[in-house]
Amino acid sequence: MSIKNLREKITTANHPKWFNQALSSIDYNHLGIKEDFSGVLAAYQYFLDQVAGWQKISGLPLYLKKSLDNFEGNILAIEKFIESNLQSDVPRLEGNWNRIKQNFIPAKQHSQYCVFPYDCPETVFLLDVNRRDPVSFQGAIDFITGNGLRQQTKPYVEGWIFSYEFIHKEDTALL
């Protein structure tokens, strides 16, 4: 659905001002990035942009494909939220919006995948690792997401070291 269509629907809501002022955020803890949104459509636009960006990247590894899936799911959730809450009162809007925005990024304990925005340096780095040396990709992911050293194979450890060097490129160098 387009932003224009959703905006038109919101103008028919009992509380259109609420839709334009509802706050939400996404906290990519594993990346140290936080995105804040004012208005339901601001979050929706962000997810649309993320989906468009991810769809331009060919050969996504499964791990990063899960980020695209997450953003697509958020788009559908917001569309459904708007459709089903146009006539809701403010307390109901608040409660339903709180449930929706809690799922913007799945909690790590509920998912084995961390969500990545398509345009952050870590994503660009991981895509490069995957292109250059796909067998070291899992080690690179595990370092960036804080999963710890889980394997002892050479390619895995190389991926871990690649990520260590990437994250610490300004303040350290391996000898």
DSSP tag of 105: S
How does residue 163 score in pLDDT terms, banded at 50, 70 and 90? Answer: very high
CB 117 within 8 A of CB 49: no
Burial status of residue 144 (CB atoms within 10 A of its CB: 0-12, 13-18, 19 or more): buried
How far is Cα 62 from Cα 40, in angstroms, rounded to an integer?
29
- Residue at 5: amino acid letter: N
Give tens-digit pLDDT for 57-99.
999 999 999 999 999 999 999 999 999 999 999 999 999 999 9
pLDDT > 70? residue 149: yes
pLDDT > 70? residue 24: yes
Give me the pLDDT at residue 172, please. 65
Find the Cα–Cα–Cα–Cα dihedral 11, 17, 20, 21, rounded to 10°. Answer: -170
Contacts of 96 (CB under 8 A, 6+ apart): 81, 84, 85, 88
Q: Which range has the worst mean pLDDT, 6-20, 107-121, 151-165?
A: 107-121
Structure pTM?
Answer: 0.91
How does residue 175 score in pLDDT terms, banded at 50, 70 and 90? Answer: very low
Find the Cα–Cα–Cα–Cα dihedral 52, 107, 160, 154, rounded to 10°. Answer: -100
Greatest extent of the chain over all pairs of C-alpha atoms, in Å: 64
Exposure on the CB side of residue 161, measured as CA atoms within 13 A: 11
How does residue 36 score in pLDDT terms, banded at 50, 70 and 90? Answer: very high
Give me the pLDDT at residue 1, please. 85
